[in-house]
Amino acid sequence: MDHYRIKNLLADKPIGKALEVRGWLKTRRDAKGNFSFLEINDGSCLANLQVIADNSLANYETEIKRLTTGCSIKAAGNIIESPAKGQDIELHAKEIEIYGWSPAESYPLQKKRHSFEFLREIAHLRPRTNSLSAVARVRSVLSYAVHNFFQERGFFLVHTPIITTSDCEGAGELFTVTSLDYDNLPKSGGKVDFSRDFFGRPANLTVSGQLQAEIYALALGNVYTFGPTFRAENSNTSRHLAEFWMIEPEMAFCDLDRDITVAEDLLKHMVSYVLENCGEDIDLFDRYVEKGLKVKLEDILSHDFIRIPYSDAIDLLDASGRDFEFPVHWGADLQTEHERFLAEESFQKPVVVTDYPKEIKPFYMRMNPDEKTVSAMDILFPGIGEIVGGSQREERYDVLRARMVEAGLDIEEYEWYLDLRRYGSVPHAGFGVGFERIVQFITGMANIREAIPFPRTPGSAPF
């Protein structure tokens, strides 16, 4: 007998066909006249399938009437037109098999709505809820949208390393990777002797695949990497994770202007792809998570992003007369409150801030002719703040080297990066999209911890 996924079943509506579905019980309701309504969900979509089980089934009294939320079952029977409102079809069961019971006394998911905080504590069961299963589906569809966007445009996927010996962002927020015995550390001159560590030198989890993506861009032209990145940033906010996924394209023969255009196109593609393919899930978020979400998403598609140089943004913030917690002045980094003011109040749409002071940006960004600012861009979204960070890269050997010295980098460790400027250097640019931040924006979730299956944050890495 054909095993059907509920999503396909509801789309095909094969009335009269004998088939089976497998999933988890949402509810059981017993009707007068010795039959029961079972609502089954199999995770393929938000909708449940209604199954009618009656006392002609051999296990009706012994098992079916004992079914509770969370039990896993197989229901085999015929698809019939449903007389009930709100659904077109239902399954008239000829056989119900129970795979696993789910004791009602202890099953943590009740019929009522649970808080997202509570659900985080049971992250092994939260994908069985409507909202978190919807997030999981949207996240998967979004990953696919990222790949089809780049693949259709001739970009090659590069798997950049997870373990590295470089610090792309130079922020020192590194998780060390070691196999040394902490109770018996090899020392030399009072310091840990990393020459005796696994890699013969200090190593860490990557904070960004950019530097390695640059290597491949300068050979393959247009590339992208999409993988996990790690930052030991002690920020316990609703927008920070210690482990997050980043989408990082890198393009040879590309300037900042085109870099921004590609980023805008990518973000719009992700939004429109989800609207086209996850309508039901988006409707759920619109109803229960963020009112007006769908309009917000459609709005993103219908406007050009605003582009504004950092210096003008500072003037704008200054002129706002706002009493910001962090004072605004030229040279200071934009804080979340400033970013959100620009995107939510000044422009009420995504804003691309360009040409930041060189002091507040990493060494690899291309120096502008004013020698004060670099060819950088951050894309700020309403409700989120920074969602993308990118730049044109410094392709001039001398300028890059001087910047690295200024930044205090150990030049010897980065000779390979300088080689890319010694041998066939070209103007190139790229950016990084925080994947969970865009998932957060698209699902309307208030906290980024709902945008990833297993959030890792300071003091918390269960499962």
How many residues sit in the footprint of ligand 4AD (CB under 6 A)? 22
CA torsion sign, 215 to 163 to 143 to 362? negative
Binding residue (CB under 6 A) for ligand 4AD from 436, 441, 449, 450: 436
User: Buried b vs exposed e over 114-143: b needs ≥16 C-beta within 10 Å?
Assistant: bebeebbeebeebbbbbbbbbbbbbbebbb
Given ligand 4AD, Mg ion, none, residue 241, with its beta carbon under 5 to 8 Å by kind, binds ligand 4AD
Please state the closest distance from residue 376 (CB atom) to ligand 4AD, in A: 9
**Which sign, positive or negative, has the C-alpha torsion 74, 131, 232, 413?**
positive
Q: What distance in Å separates the CA atoms of residue 400 and residue 355, rounded to the nearest whole number?
A: 17
Q: Does 208 bind ligand 4AD (CB under 6 A)?
A: yes
What are residue 98's DSSP bridge partners?
Answer: 73
For the bound state, the minimum distance from the C-beta of residue 186 to ligand 4AD, rounded and expressed in Å, comes to: 32
Per rule CB under 5 A, is residue 390 in the interface with Mg ion? Answer: no
The least CB distance from residue 34 to ligand 4AD, in Å, is 54
Contact assessment for residue 300 and residue 271, using Cβ atoms and an 8 Å cutoff: yes
Q: Which does 350 bind (CB under 5 to 8 A by kind): ligand 4AD, Mg ion, none?
A: none
452 neighbors 244 (Cβ within 8 angstroms): yes
The answer to the question of residue 366 lying near ligand 4AD (CB under 6 A) is: no
Q: Does 389 help bind ligand 4AD (rule: CB under 6 A)?
A: yes
Here's the x/- map for Mg ion, 346-385, by CB under 5 A: it reads as ----------------------------------------
> For residues 88 and 115, is the Cβ–Cβ distance under 8 A?
no
Q: Which two tokens stand for residue 237?
A: 């906010």
- Closest separation in Å from C-beta 347 to ligand 4AD: 18
Pick one of ligand 4AD, Mg ion, none as the site partner of residue 385 (Cβ within 5 to 8 A by kind): none
Q: Is 214 in the site for ligand 4AD (CB under 6 A)?
A: no
CB of 309 to Mg ion, least distance (A): 17
429 within 8 A of 224, measured Cβ to Cβ: no
Minimal distance in Å, beta carbon 210 to ligand 4AD?
4
Least CB distance to ligand 4AD at residue 247 (A): 9
Closest CB to Mg ion among residues 312, 333: 333
At position 394, the amino acid (one-letter code) is E
- Write out the H or E segment, with its range, that includes residue 90: strand 89-100
Binders of Mg ion: how many residues, by CB under 5 A? 1
Residues 256-315 contacting ligand 4AD, CB under 6 A: none
231 binds ligand 4AD (CB under 6 A): yes
Among 434, 440, 444, 455, binds ligand 4AD (CB under 6 A): 434
Is 417 within 8 Å of 201 (Cβ atoms)? no
Q: Closer to ligand 4AD at the Cβ: 23 or 389?
A: 389
Q: Does 340 bind ligand 4AD (CB under 6 A)?
A: no
Q: Strand pairing partners for 227?
A: 246
Q: Coil, helix or strand for 312?
A: helix
Residue partners of 356: CB distance under 8 A and separation at least 6: 310, 373, 374, 376, 378
Candidates 431, 441, 444, 450; binder of ligand 4AD (CB under 6 A) is: 431
451 binds ligand 4AD (CB under 6 A): no
Work out whether 389 is an interface residue with Mg ion (CB under 5 A).
yes
**CB of 350 or CB of 390, closer to ligand 4AD:** 390
- What is the C-alpha separation between 57 and 258, in angstroms, rounded? 65
The one-letter amino acid at 223 = V
What CA–CA distance (Å, rounded) separates 308 from 240?
25
Contacts of 407 (CB under 8 A, 6+ apart): 170, 362, 363
Give me the least distance between CB of 389 and Mg ion, in Å please.
3
Stretch that binds ligand 4AD, among 39-47, 107-115, 191-199, 237-245 (CB under 6 A): 237-245
**Per CB under 6 A, which of residues 238..257 are in contact with ligand 4AD?**
240-241, 244, 246, 248
Q: E strands, 176-316, where?
A: 176-177, 187-188, 191-192, 203-205, 222-230, 243-252, 306-309
Which residue, 99, 8, 18, is CA-closest to 49? 8
Contacts with ligand 4AD, residue ranges (CB under 6 A):
168-169, 208, 210, 231, 233, 240-241, 244, 246, 248, 386-390, 430-432, 434, 436-437
Contacts with Mg ion, residue ranges (CB under 5 A):
389
